[in-house]
């Protein structure tokens, strides 16, 4: 079991550029979560999906952020245009099903927007 | 609107038991207590959870008071690798719109 896989692990970009973060769920898991972690705000839930359907996106900061699940095992989080305040570590996590709080986290993507 | 209160930091000697407290005085009957930890530069890791009975697994033990207003996570023989931020989370298992809300947690430092 490879666990949750995230790519890239590190990303440095300039303000205004598009950034795409990728996440592969654990095989057989049906729920997917995107989190953002900063020193100031801690670990925040951005959005979560169940069976490829977005259930709660209330944590998405603004329209510059979008997330998709093109299939049951893969998700992307896109920021366009990126801003320096988007610099953070972005984690995705998966769980077996909705209501299953045992979430398995990926290693995170460290994003730096200059 | 944090549902839990944890001390910001604790120290523990290597090989000794680490007892991490958590207050959740407003917990409701269908809410579980979950513990996660985050080792530096890694994603959070599930440790244990419980409803009202004490629980034990290969990582830790969870002691929940009878009134369920507080709990203690016990690492029986702490090692240097247990140095991490420990999060106590209260959540409604099985709810239609559940989610984990991470607070600031407790930074546990295990000293040699």
Q: Which of A89-103, B30-44, B47-61 has the lowest mean pLDDT?
A: A89-103
The 10 Å Cβ neighbour count of residue A71 is 9
pLDDT band at B22 (very low <50, low <70, confident <90, very high): very high
Looking at CA atoms only, how far is residue A93 from chain B in angstroms? 9
Chain B residues in contact with A99 by the CB 8 A cut-off are 93-96, 98
Contact assessment for residue B27 and residue B69, using Cβ atoms and an 8 Å cutoff: yes
Indicate yes or no: CB of A45 within 8 angstroms of CB of B103: no
CB atoms within 10 A of CB A6: 22
User: Between chains, do A107 and B102 touch, taking CB under 8 Å as contact?
Assistant: no
- pLDDT tens by residue, chain A, 114 residues: 679 999 999 999 999 999 999 999 999 999 999 999 999 999 999 999 988 999 889 899 889 999 999 999 999 999 999 999 999 999 999 998 766 668 999 999 999 999
**pLDDT (0 to 100) of residue B66:** 94
For residue B49, the surrounding DSSP H or E stretch is: strand B45-50
Of A8-17, B27-36, B85-94, give the lowest mean pLDDT range: B85-94
Q: What is the pLDDT of residue A1?
A: 63
Is B1's pLDDT higher than 60? no
Q: CA-CA distances (angstroms) from residue A77 to A18, A19, A48, A67, A105? A: 11, 8, 11, 4, 15
pLDDT the model gives residue A56: 87
pLDDT band of B94, cuts 50, 70, 90: low
Q: Is the pLDDT of residue B95 over 70?
A: no
Please give the DSSP secondary-structure letter assigned to residue A63: T
* Rounded CA separation B30/B17 (Å): 30
* pLDDT tens figures, B7-19: 999 999 999 999 9
How far apart, in whole angstroms, are the C-alpha atoms of residue A14 and residue A37? 20
Share of chain B above pLDDT 70, in %: 93
Chain B residue at shortest CA distance from A42: B104
Q: Peptide bond before B96: cis, by omega within 30 degrees of 0?
A: no
Q: Judge whether residue B92 has pLDDT over 80.
A: no
> What's residue B28's pLDDT?
87
Q: Do A45 and B100 touch (CB under 8 A)?
A: yes
Compare CB distances from B100 to A55, A103, A107 and report the shortest one's residue.
A103
A40: Cβ–Cβ under 8 A, 6 or more apart, which residues?
none
Taking residue B46's Cβ as centre, other Cβ atoms within 10 Å add up to 19
Average pLDDT over residues B94-101: 66
d(Cα A30, Cα B97) in Å, to the nearest integer?
A: 15
Contact call for residues B93 and B30 (beta carbons, < 8 A): yes
How far B49 CA lies from chain A's nearest CA (Å)? 9
């Amino acid at each position: 079991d490879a666990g949750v896989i995230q790519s890239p692990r590190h990303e440095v970009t300039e303000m205004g550029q598009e950034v795409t973060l990728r996440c592969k769920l654990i095989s057989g898991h049906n729920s997917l979560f995107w989190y953002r972690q900063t020193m100031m705000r801690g670990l925040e839930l951005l959005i979560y999906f169940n069976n490829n359907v977005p259930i709660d996106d209330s944590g998405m900061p603004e329209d510059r952020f979008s997330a998709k699940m093109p299939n049951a095992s893969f998700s992307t989080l896109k920021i366009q245009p990126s801003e320096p305040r988007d610099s953070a570590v972005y984690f995705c996590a998966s769980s077996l099903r909705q209501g299953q709080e045992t979430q398995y986290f990926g290693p995170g993507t460290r994003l730096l927007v200059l | 609107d944090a549902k839990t209160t944890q001390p910001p930091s604790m120290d523990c000697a290597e090989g000794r038991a680490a007892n991490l407290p958590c207050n959740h005085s407003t917990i409701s009957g269908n809410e579980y207590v979950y513990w996660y930890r985050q080792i530096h530069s890694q994603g959070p890791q599930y440790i244990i959870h419980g409803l009202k009975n004490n629980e034990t697994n290969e990582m830790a033990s969870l002691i929940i008071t009878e009134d369920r207003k507080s709990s203690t996570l016990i690492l029986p023989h702490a090692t240097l690798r247990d140095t991490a931020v420990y999060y106590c989370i209260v959540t409604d298992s099985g709810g239609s719109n559940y989610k984990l809300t991470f607070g600031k947690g407790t930074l546990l430092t295990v000293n040699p």
